[in-house]
Amino acid sequence: MQLNKKQLQSASGAILSAYILNHYLEETKHLGLFKQTVKKNVTRTINDLTIIEQFYFDEVYNIDDKDLGGTLIDNNLVFLQEFLKFDFNDFSKIQEIFVAYQKDPNRLSRISDKILIENGAKKIWEQQQE
């Protein structure tokens, strides 16, 4: 099966979304929030999400000649693993940062580069200024 770039990005997004949802459902399933039918459905959903993560993650590598899908997933999975370490309440500030990036990507990139370099990151290439 050959997917185009848009389809591959959608499949990768679905896999990553399953990863996020699975993370939060696993964290909350034993809190007593879910009762009876919902609890049963959550357990079934977790099982389905795990299958999506495991099976389709591997399938993206198999259907992608240029390794685009695998690279997309790998890069985003590393980001998501770091992202999910935050408390859910911290998402508000992270959302603000996303909005700030949309408003002025060059400025926010320069600020983040400065912070990362000050904390030991190495500069790999010079970003072209527009």
Query: What digits encode the pLDDT tens for the residues 62-73?
Result: 655 555 555 656
Evaluate if pTM is beyond 0.85: no
Q: Are residue 81 and residue 91 in the same domain, yes or no?
A: no
Query: What digits encode the pLDDT tens for the residues 39-58?
Result: 999 999 999 988 887 777 66
Looking at every residue in the chain, the average pLDDT score rounds to 79
Domain coverage including residue 75? 1-85
Q: Are residue 2 and residue 31 in the same domain, yes or no?
A: yes
**DSSP string of 27-56, one letter each residue:** HHTTTT---HHHHHHHHHHHHHHHHIIIII
In angstroms, the Cα distances linking 111 to 1, 57, 119 are 42, 34, 13
Q: Are residue 106 and residue 80 in the same domain, yes or no?
A: no
Q: Are residue 48 and residue 104 in the same domain, yes or no?
A: no
